[in-house]
Chain A
Amino acid sequence: MAGEGDRRAGLEVGRRSRLLDELRSGGDGRRSVAVALVSTVVFFAIVFFAITHAPGWPQVRSQFFNWHEFKSTFPEIARAFVVNIKIFSIAEVFILVFALFLAVLRSLPGPVFFPLRALAIVYADIFRGIPTILVIAMLGFGAPALGLSYLPKSVIFWGIVSLVLIYSAYVSEVYRAGIESIHPSQEAAARSLGLSRWQTLRRVILPQAVRRVVPPLLNDFIGLQKDTALVGTLGAIEAFQQSQIDTNATFNFTAYLSAALLFVAITIPLARFTDWLIARDRRQRQSGGATL
């Protein structure tokens, strides 16, 4: 009986979301759900009790969890959050393309291409080495100061440029790992059919490489979505900057909570989606198929 339940629970792992798996893992389905539920309720009751009975709680509640403040700041911050969405949607497209270009540069074989490979390596080293906020500050304040009339002055533009430069360095490494994970025999097969090096890359290597790195790519995009808040340091009115304005005006920190909720509302679904993709990938590999 228990064995049967075990097996069924085991089969369902991976088909549901990770949270549900967590609930179901270990033993007889219904009983473990009940245990998990009770222990969750008890755990949060204790945490809730501890926090609400802390001596500073009334103060914190009015400073951080102020319903009135939340209601009055949330719409404004939500409107500002559209700027964050704009920043990362535009940046993501450019990152995907530019990073792929860098990864391809870096995987060019032969001594002729050494300068290009070296350039790609130096690029990745530099932009992975500098803190994001520094690049944003240097470009965001420096580039417009050059006074070149043909360069845009918008801080959002320069924020996007900075994020593209930095995230491309990370994402190109992800792509490169994918390219290197494709067995050389695939290239030999393609070349032996008369496909050129470029055709081989485009038709055989990259399609397989990109499929393999979708989960880590999404992981990087979760990071990117959060880092859009750094563009606010240039003075762009995005969610973080707006919440700071509100906080400064009212001396109440509930606005930060509004901004945090907005970020979480988009990053958590993406994180769950990433988990789901990884689980699906693992399942497919276990059933013998290497493709996604």
Chain B
Amino acid sequence: MSDALVVEGVSKSFGRHEVLRGIDLSVAEHEVVALIGASGSGKSTLLRCINLLEPIDGGRIFLSGEEITRRRDVNDVRRRIGIVFQSFNLFPHMSVLRNVTLAPRDVLGLSRRDADERATALLERFGLAEKRNEYPDRLSGGQQQRVAIVRALAMQPELMLFDEVTSALDPELVAEVLNVIGELAAGGMTMVIATHEMSFARDIADQVCFLDDGRILEQGKPQEIFTSPREPRTQQFLQRIIEAKRL
């Protein structure tokens, strides 16, 4: 069995504040892992550490069996991992098409034509073809987030990371973004998804990790975690989610 991603004892502090305290996680190829847990439990930091946006203080991370935490060329690692952020972070001075083709052209060295072709195909696939020449501020939040996903996909990454990608969206726009992620899962994309959408996590994930205070407190199949959580902290967390009618 081949692991697309292995996280081994990763720790990270911001000053005195320990955000990650020894995270171990394996993600098999084509597997979808959902990270759940309260705000501040370390989900986002873990994702940012995996694509080396944050340097880690301890532990190791392997991408397709190769250690990436000791490599010097972070750009080469990042082009293989796509990440989508909560706040979209599209480039406001570029059209949708340029947003998507920037990295393929500048990083992968694709010709303008090839990059445009690749981008257009992806935009079409996710129903954004007619928006290709629009600027981000003319799009709805849901459309922007879908463009951000397409932008990451255009690099043909081995692994996709999603950092609470629906948290900044109006409720009625959440579904269109989740559908895109669902489609990617169906297509066999390896993904790590930090999310507050519990029913989505339950439906899409092969594995659910409950993070609490920088540790993976509980880990297992969605049925196990959502129906019979072992840890009191997990039970407590899910109880609050149910009370908030999010599950």
Contacts and interface: CB of A to CB of B under 8 A. Distances in A.
B78 A204 contact: no
Contact of B93 (A191, A195, A211, A288): A211
Nearest to A186: B89
Contacts of B217: none
Would you call the interface of chain A mostly helix, strand, loop, or mixed? Answer: helix
A208 B138 CA distance: 17
Contact of A189 (B75, B91, B135): B91
A207 B93 contact: yes
A193 B152 CA distance: 7
Contact of A192 (B51, B76, B90, B93): B51
B78 A191 contact: yes
B43 interface: no
A86 interface: no
Contact of B83 (A192, A203, A288): A192
B76 A194 contact: yes
Contacts of B21: none
Interface residues on B, range: 20 to 34
Contact of B79 (A189, A194, A208): A194
A111 interface: no
A194 B102 contact: no
Contact of B106 (A189, A192, A195, A291): A195
Contact of A188 (B53, B76, B90): B53
B107 A199 contact: yes
B127 interface: no
A190 B151 CA distance: 10
Interface in A161-217: 185-186, 188-196, 199, 203-204, 207-208, 211
Given A188-B53, A288-B137, A291-B135, A193 B93 contact: no
Nearest to A204: B91
A197 to B, nearest CB: 9
Interface in A45-100: none
Interface of A: 185-186, 188-196, 199, 203-204, 207-208, 211, 288-291
Interface of B: 48, 51, 53, 75-76, 78-79, 81-83, 85, 87, 89-93, 102-103, 106-107, 135, 137-138, 148, 151-152, 155
13 contacts: A188-B48, A189-B85, A189-B91, A191-B53, A191-B78, A192-B51, A194-B76, A194-B79, A194-B155, A203-B102, A290-B92, A290-B137, A291-B135
Which 7 A-B pairs have CB atoms at the shortest separation, nearest pair first?
A: A194-B79, A189-B89, A193-B103, A194-B107, A194-B78, A289-B137, A192-B83
